[in-house]
Amino acid sequence: MTLFISVLLTLFLIFLHKRYKFGSDGVNSRKVHDLSTSRLGGIAVAGSFLISVFLESKSNLFDFYTDLILIFFFLFFLIEDIKGVLKPLSRLLAIMACSFLLVLELDLSISNLGVPILDFFLENLTVSILFSTISLSLLANGFNLIDGFNGLVAGFSIIVLAILMMIAKEVSEPEIYFLCNILLMSVLGFFVLNFPFGKIFLGDAGAYFLGLSAGVLALLLAERTETISYWFVLALFIYPVYELVFSMIRRKFNEKTKTSQADDLHLHHLIYKKVVNCSYFSRKELCNSATSVIMLFMASSSVLSAYIWIDSPATLFSICIIFMAIYTSIFLKLK
């Protein structure tokens, strides 16, 4: 049912754009598509997910208050997709506020990383809550940052959610399995119309919503299962998290610009410009999507490695280091 709702909503949003240009993304120097396209695909993803949670009522984890926080969070960023009026500080404060409320509501405070010096500070509840809030905020921002090509965020989300579903089933967590399943179906309904031809885009609201929701589900799984460490969560999401951290450092110290300044110097942009040969493709949208395939192959290597070595925190930490080293070396070579 969730998949059907998602596809139906996505088709309706495409229709609204074609008929009324509602939610148009437009075209500018940073865009890698030629035609005006709806950027309201997040409505289909968030809408089908929240509707399914409400109708099926199989989860006590995402109760009324959790749903309310997610709805407010999504609607706030939907303003940006429609009007484009939100300032970077407003975005940051909204993300931090909603992350903080979710951490309190779902008791997601990270308190044990297996590193004595860090765990000493995380024993303090205030520090633990703040650390968890920042972690979720980084993840939500990271998802939005990698949302530059057809199917990239949606494809990455599908891979991550499939892994979380497998683990939830293995450790007998039916509620988390259910939530991961309907979120995956919600993304899949959008994905089939976003990839490869880019009929609709996810938008800021969709990317932020996916990052926050997937992050919450991963933290819930780690919180409720003693055998899964938080290093697994980091290894699972190292691609969007490092994309964000690396971009902030690059802008601040290399480009000498604001850390929130948008640009086209992300690794996916460099892959598109210098690796993918668009002359091989009859349509620019296919060249766009080929870039996503390359990036998803790279990102999935860390995701699958995290799953294979889920019981080894030291190996999970090494996976993060290796991914960051590979990302940085490829970036510097292409740059």
- Tens-digit pLDDT profile for the chain (335 aa)? 899 999 999 999 999 999 888 888 765 445 665 678 899 999 999 999 999 998 876 667 787 788 899 999 999 999 888 888 788 899 999 999 999 999 999 999 898 898 899 999 999 999 999 999 999 999 999 999 999 899 999 999 999 999 999 999 999 999 999 999 999 999 999 999 999 999 999 999 999 999 999 999 999 999 988 789 999 999 999 999 999 999 999 998 888 888 888 888 899 999 999 999 887 877 778 889 999 999 999 999 999 999 999 999 999 999 999 999 999 999 999 98
Q: Is 119 exposed, middle or buried (0-12, 13-18, 19+ CB in 10 A)?
A: middle
Contact present, 103 and 129 (Cβ < 8 Å): yes
Q: In 3-state terms, what secondary structure has residue 217?
A: helix
pLDDT of residue 242: 97
Residue whose C-alpha is closest to residue 190's, from 49, 16, 44: 44
Q: How many domains does the chain have?
A: 1
- Cis geometry, peptide bond prior to residue 196 (ω within 30 degrees of 0): yes
Domain of residue 92 covers: 2-334
Tell me, what's the pLDDT at 29?
45
CA–CA distance from 335 to each of 32, 190, 253, 274, 290 (Å)? 18, 33, 15, 9, 20
H helix intervals, the chain: 2-20, 41-56, 64-83, 88-106, 116-122, 125-145, 152-170, 174-194, 203-224, 230-236, 238-253, 267-274, 284-308, 313-334
Kindly give, in sequence order, each residue whose CB lies less than 8 Å from that of residue 192, ignoring residues fewer than 6 positions away. Answer: 7
Kindly report the number of other CB atoms within 10 A of residue 154's CB atom: 29
Closest C-alpha to 114, from 322, 316, 328: 316
Find the farthest-apart pair of alpha carbons in the chain and give their distance in angstroms, rounded.
59
Buried b / exposed e over 203-234, threshold 16 CB at 10 Å, is bbbbbbbbbbbbbbbbbbbbbebeebbbbbbb
CA atoms within 13 A on the CB side of 97: 12
Exposed, middle or buried, 24 (CB in 10 Å: 0-12/13-18/19+)? middle
Per-residue pLDDT at 6: 97
Q: Are 45 and 202 in contact, with CB atoms under 8 Å apart? A: yes
pTM given for the model: 0.95
The DSSP symbol for 22 reads T
Give residue 39's pLDDT. Answer: 92
* Rounded Cα distance, 280 and 121, in Å: 54
* 257 dihedral zone (left: phi>0; alpha: psi -120 to 50; beta): beta
